[in-house]
Amino acid sequence: MFNFWADFIQKLMRKDDSAQMAAGRLKGSVVLDRLSLSPATLDQIRNDVVRSISRYLIIDENAMTLAVQAEGRTVALAAQIPVVRQRDGGGEGMVVHETRELFRVDTAPAAEVGRRGGVMAIAEDPVEDSGEFLIRPDGSRSALSPEARARARALRRRRQSRRSGL
């Protein structure tokens, strides 16, 4: 009986699905080849992106990804940049959500960013009183999910109380 379970666990733990690794590594190198882009240049692009976004937002640089991805036989540059918060206070009403989902920049050109405080896409006229909504890469807007809004409100309350405490 013991042998059975030992065998079971061993088989379960054995990580030899190297085909998946091969596919992942290939996808990475093949798209760089297609652009004749060196990993070093991609690093430079990444650094430049970090520098320019960091003027406005504090981002989680370690969790950020910037990669070239194949779409058919063409290539897209895709970035995921988790935003921690906006730089420099931002004043009343500039809600910056600490929820990562909200600030994910997915497959540039445009961003999904919340209302007035948003930097990559700025909404002048909030669609509802709470003002929190998403601007999608195609420019369309949609209201936040109730959970995301609740998180944003909690965050704003926290921040306001912190500010009044100062």
Partner 1 sequence: MGKVIVITSGKGGVGKTTATANIGTGLAQTGKSVVLIDADIGLRNLDLVLGLENRIVFDLVDVVEKKCRTAKQALIKDKRNETLFLLPAAQSRDKDAVKPEQMKALCDELREQFDFVLIDCPAGIEGGFKNAIAGADEAVIVTNPEVSAVRDADRVIGLLEAEDKCSPSLIVNRIKPDMIRKGQMLSIADVQEILNVKLLGIVPEDEKILRASNRGEPAVLDKQSKAGQAYREVVQRLIDPVNAPAVVPPRTESFWARMRRVLGMGEEVARQA
Handedness of CA 113, 119, 120, 126 (dihedral sign): positive
Among the listed ranges 47-55, 65-73, 84-92, 114-122, the one in contact with partner 1 (CB under 8 A) is 65-73
Q: Do residues 107 and 137 lie in contact, with contact meaning Cβ atoms separated by under 8 Å?
A: yes
Among the listed ranges 59-67, 87-95, 102-110, 115-123, the one in contact with partner 1 (CB under 8 A) is 59-67
Detail the DSSP E strand segments found in 73-140. 74-80, 83-86, 133-135
Q: What percentage of the chain's residues is helix, strand, coil (to nearest 5)?
A: 40, 15, 40
CA dihedral in degrees (58, 148, 64, 127; nearest 10)? Answer: -70
Determine, following the binding rule CB under 8 A, whether residue 29 of this chain makes contact with partner 1. yes
Q: How far is the CB of 81 from partner 1 (least distance, A)?
A: 12
Determine, following the binding rule CB under 8 A, whether residue 75 of this chain makes contact with partner 1. no
Instruction: Indicate which single residue of 6, 26, 122, 150 sits in contact with partner 1 (rule: CB under 8 A).
Output: 26
Which CB, 52 or 62, lies closer to partner 1?
A: 62
Chain positions contacting partner 1, by CB under 8 A: 11-30, 32-34, 39, 42-43, 46, 65-68, 70, 72-73
